[in-house]
Amino acid sequence: MTQHLDTDIAILGGGIAGLWLFRRLSELGYSTLLLESSTLGGEQTIKSQGIIHGGTKYALSGNLTKASECIASMPQRWRDCMEGNGEIDLTQAQLLSPHHYMWSSSGIGSKLTTFFASKALRGRVDALDKSQYPEFFQHPKFRGNIYKLNEFVLDIGSVITALTEGLLQRTIKIDWQHSQLETDEQGQITAITTGGGEDACMIRARRYVFAAGAGTADLISRWGIDGPEMQLRPLHMCMVKVPNAAPLFAHCIGTSTVPRLTITSHPTADGQWIWYIGGEPAETGVNRTPDEQIAVCQQELKALMPWVDLSSAQWATLRANRAEPKQNSLLRPDAAFCKSINNCFITWPTKLALAPNLSDEVIKHLNQQEIKPQFPQPERSPLLQGAEICQPFWSDAFS
């Protein structure tokens, strides 16, 4: 017999947007189910650098943009959650660095000093005395200036674990190739049916939230409507494992409005650190082969930190797609996106740090539509498989 699950909210997609919303709505008393076709946090979320930033890098053009203003309040909201005083409990999430830093190579420091001292960025950026430099920049061969940003870096795997604590029994791993979005004549989704035989299940929700990142375009197509268009902005990230290297969490600023390098560090099981390299090489290296991309990053590290011995370093690359609502000229969206269509919400967070902002937008729509908690929490049949938490992005890179 087909199992029927009735719920207030069905969330389609288990990245940071879906997971934050899953936790937030559950704590507000809504019955919720989360449907995921792969692993929880396994794509754009785990491949992020874990920076909860306040928009500083968006101001490198010399002006504060709408994007930098929208995201400015996000670090404090995340900190409140990590300290147990926020809208959800992230006290078990692991902090990798309490600050993210910005360094300038010699030659452009004076320009940055003037810019960062501006009234617009006061409270977001602090110039550091040499005695305050992070361990990595204490080397006598370092040349440049260091700034401390009102941003921090999290271990994203631990964030995913914290967000799903006690909720995994309400996740369902769904195979969309063997599932169907059922609709009525008005285009309302009436149910999602999945599986067959003893595994057959019909999920009926009062509202459906599309939060599948890059998979949202396919889900909209399955729904059969002309929904918001999606754009993908690809990245080609680089990873390097340098024996006994100190952790590094910083943007290097060059002459572009994109950081010359953005580096975060992630601990491995053997006590070492992976440097995860984004910024300009990741943006411009999409058409490079892995070997070509590694060569570019090697050259940059040698130029910017000549004291680091890379002779025994291990290298790998990773491709990632940033999925967002389509913008003119493929520009980056300014804020989280949520559009209500029939009994559904189409969403993209556009940025890791904006997950709380996206949940605000969904809750605002629920309140406007007077959707209050109604159903008890659904119980997944033992015949249905739950979704599992993803592995770290580097788990297979250096095997």
Domains and CATH numbers, the chain: 3-45+159-229+328-386 (3.50.50.60), 100-149+232-323 (3.30.9.10)
C-alpha span between 317 and 70 (Å, rounded): 31
Please compute Rg for the chain using Cα positions. 22
pTM over 0.85: yes
Q: Which of 227, 113, 85, 92 is nearest to 155 (CA)?
A: 92
**Where residue 73 falls among pLDDT bands split at 50, 70, 90?**
confident
Summarised one tens digit per residue, pLDDT across range 297-306 is: 999 999 999 9
Summarised one tens digit per residue, pLDDT across range 43-60 is: 999 999 999 988 776 665
Summarised one tens digit per residue, pLDDT across range 159-185 is: 999 999 999 999 999 999 999 999 999
DSSP H or E run through 276: strand 273-278
Query: What whole-number percentage of the chain has pLDDT above 90?
Result: 73
Please determine, for residue 1, whether its predicted confidence score (pLDDT) is greater than 70: no
pLDDT at 379: 83
DSSP H or E run through 154: strand 152-154
Higher local confidence (pLDDT), 60 or 221 = 221
| 394 three-state secondary structure | coil
In this structure, what token pair is assigned to residue 295? 């060569």
Summarised one tens digit per residue, pLDDT across range 319-345 is: 999 999 998 876 777 789 999 999 999
**Where residue 125 falls among pLDDT bands split at 50, 70, 90?**
confident
Q: Alpha-carbon dihedral of residues 24, 28, 32, 36, nearest 10 degrees?
A: 0
**Where residue 9 falls among pLDDT bands split at 50, 70, 90?**
very high
pLDDT at 145: 83
Query: What whole-number percentage of the chain has pLDDT above 70?
Result: 91
Angle, helix 355-368 to helix 16-27, in steps of 10 degrees:
50
C-alpha span between 291 and 1 (Å, rounded): 53
DSSP H or E run through 79: helix 74-82
Please determine, for residue 114, whether its predicted confidence score (pLDDT) is greater than 50: no
Please determine, for residue 118, whether its predicted confidence score (pLDDT) is greater than 60: no
